[in-house]
Amino acid sequence: MTRAELTPTTFDHHELKRSLIEFLKTKETFRDFDYDGSAINTIVDMLVRNTVYDSFLANMLANESFIESAQIRGNVVAHAQKLSYVPRSRVSARSVVDVDIIPVNPPTGNFVIVADPGVTFVTSVGGATFTFSTTEPQSFTYNGATKKYHATDIELYQGHYLKRNFNYQGEKIVVPNDGIDISTLKVTVNDNIVSPYNRVSSITDMGASSNVFFIYESNTGEYEISFGKNVLGREPSVGSTVTLEYISNTQLHANGARSFMAGITIGGYSNIEVRAKQPAYGGMNREGIESIRFNAPRAYSNQDRALASYDYVYLITKEFPFLKSVISWGGEENKPPKYGTQFIAIIPDEGIEITRSLKNRIEAYIRSKSVGSITPKIVDPNIFDTHLEIKYIVRDRVTTTSRAVIESRIAEIVTSYSEDVLSRFGAYYNEAELSELLKGIGEVESVIINEKFSHTFNTRRGYNDRHIIDFDNKIAPRSVQILGANIVDDASNERIVDDGNGRIVYSYDKAGVHRTLNIGTVNYETGVVDFVATFMQPEPGLQVEIRVEEQNFYTRSHNIVRITSLQCSEFSKSDRV
């Protein structure tokens, strides 16, 4: 008798069936059975089908048992929960506004208007209308000089303010709203005394009587709130009222909204002026599966404290998810070193500057997570601007596409390259990469790119200051120049350039005499420009411009490079050498 073994190592049903039939044919009882359209063929089909289903189920169970391979959101979230990681909810876009209420007649007695949370404002972005709401009571004080009620620095959140009461029965409270922004959630418990409860951030600084709540995403995607059972936080008594206040938002975000109008009357007044102090920012959707899969283990290793540099980066990007790029490094890496300080540089999602209020919030947050005597300090990114001159050769001289259209396509690609690829920490300008992107335009056969890089440094009028600008790239000799400098009164033809031998030279004409002074040095290898000068032009800054030896401009630490100007023209015969 032929020896045959089952080979259930494949999920392919044809292979399984063939293997099973071959196996059965080796048995005396089944040797002469008909395996084509017969009854036993039907039974074999059923066995194969059952095997495949079992295999699929086993595979699925194995996959869903680990956070690395789970596909169902509820399971990924459940694994993340074991690591004490709460996935990010939908985040409302937010803005800060000043509001003036203009009464028709001056008030006779009521000089302060107090508005409850939930005052709405409307704005429009891209033709769609969005509602923003307040989450705190606001006081508007009457100013007799301006004849207006006035309130400043009102924080607005996109969405609607909701307040829900629950009769606590000792069970988890399910938030009946999948649009909740849990960063705006406030919980108060009324069991004869009204007490605010705070969200647990760490169990190390709380006890059995702490007024804290826990929040998790449930298997069905809703958020659940639970209390500490009088062990890890005070448990509200059964029958007490738990009040949830939060912002509920939609999937569309109003990031970039700049002008707001009052959505309702305030204190009975409808003539209301709203001035946004910054465009709306930070609106984001709920965290996706892949992001949870990536972040949860890192949150666990981080243990909610900032120790290593990547802890700072992780904690800040988790708490402020709308930031585009964050980098952090120890002060010991600085030149000269600054021990005991952890530096952080941040690029927000919208624009390149970060507002003072946001910087303060981030600094306060990260300080609460720092350990030991480390002082976190947020510094501005070190920005290098790229000035491009692009000459293109058209593939087909008889193309019907106009040069204006080709140039607008080039401009689009350059803008996209600057915003999407550059303008973040760790990204560097790569001429070959940009050139390839530009050659993706059908009509463009090739491009020639010339680039200059500049850095803007601050000056103080009349102060003899030393300026050290570290480009951190090899500088081409005779390419350094400082634009628009004024050092000597009544001088003309003022120029600050390098002489090709490592010296920074200032030259000018005065009273018919041409003078030249050495004011500093340039290290072409390291890319450091170092000079001393007393600038007389108005503040705040001047640009030092260079060309680099290589075709790329590399960045490190908190340096970032972006493209700020573009000149584009067709390659002409006069350009040929």
Q: Where on the chain is the footprint of other proteins (CB under 8 A)?
A: 13-14, 32-34, 36-40, 42-43, 45-46, 48-49, 52
Among 493, 484, 498, CA closest to 539: 484
Give min distance, CB of 40 to other proteins, in A.
5
Burial 250-288 (b: 16+ CB within 10 A, else e): beebbbbbeebebbeebbebeebebebebbbbbbbebbe
Distance CA 305, CA 156 (A): 29
Q: Report in angstroms how near the CB of residue 165 gets to other proteins at its nearest.
A: 53
Q: How far is the CB of 11 from other proteins (least distance, A)?
A: 11
Measured distance CA(199)–CA(185) in Å, rounded = 9
Report which DSSP code applies to 65: T
Q: Which is nearer to other proteins, 48 or 315 (CB)?
A: 48
Nearer to other proteins, 40 or 394 (CB): 40
Distance, CA of 9 to CA of 20 (rounded, Å): 12
As to burial, measured by CB atoms within 10 angstroms (0-12 exposed, 13-18 middle, 19+ buried), residue 530 is: middle
Nearer to other proteins, 30 or 66 (CB): 30
Contacts of 70 (CB under 8 A, 6+ apart): 63, 64, 76, 79, 289, 293
**Kind of pairing, strands 492-498 and 503-510?**
antiparallel
- For residue 17, the minimal CB distance to other proteins (Å) is 8
Q: How far is the CB of 23 from other proteins (least distance, A)?
A: 16
Longest Cα–Cα distance of the chain, Å, equals 119
Minimum CB distance to other proteins, residue 285 (Å): 39
Nearer to other proteins, 43 or 112 (CB): 43
Q: How would you class 311 by CB atoms within 10 Å of its CB: exposed for 0-12, middle for 13-18, buried for 19 or more?
A: buried
3-state per-residue secondary structure call for 161-202:
EEEEEEECCCCCEEECCCCEEEEEEEEEEECCCEEEEEECCC
Nearer to other proteins, 45 or 445 (CB): 45
3-state secondary structure of 382: strand
Beta carbon nearer to other proteins, 38 or 569: 38
* Min dist. Cβ of residue 36 to other proteins (A): 6
Closer Cβ to other proteins, 6 or 208, answer by number? 6
| Beta carbon of residue 31, minimum distance to other proteins (angstroms, whole number) | 8
Question: Cβ–Cβ contacts within 10 Å for residue 63, how many?
Answer: 14
How near is the Cβ of 54 to other proteins at its closest, in Å? 13
**C-beta of 32 vs 205, nearer to other proteins:** 32
Amino acid at 349: D
Residue type, 35: Y
Residue with Cβ nearer other proteins (46 or 432): 46
